[in-house]
Amino acid sequence: MSADVLPYLGAVAVATAAAATWAARLAPTARPSGTVPFTEPEPGVRYLRCDSPHCAHKTYPHLRQADGIFVCSNCGGLKGAAA
């Protein structure tokens, strides 16, 4: 083998390594696991920020009551009540 083909062999090695790592990234096992399946929210549920100290201003599903007031599903606090 002459020394003239050595740069080409190096280029082939670099391209082969890039193709192998690209294929490994596309493999199904490379995808993150533990994803949560999508669930349809109940009708009348709104995701509102809860201002109670228990919920610490995080967003939780609030269920609408008959009088238009929303009740937090995490702490039972009322949202939209005329205070």
Least distance between Zn ion and beta carbon 48 (Å)? 9
Least distance between Zn ion and beta carbon 75 (Å)? 3
Nearer to Zn ion, 70 or 77 (CB): 77
Q: Which residues of 57-77 are buried (b: 16+ CB within 10 A; e: fewer)?
A: eeebbbebeeeeebbbbeeeb
Distance CA 77, CA 51 (A): 9
Nearer to Zn ion, 16 or 65 (CB): 65
Q: DSSP state, 41?
A: P
Interacting residues with Zn ion between 8 and 47 (CB under 5 A): none
Binding footprint of Zn ion on the chain (CB under 5 A): 50, 52, 55, 72, 74-75, 77
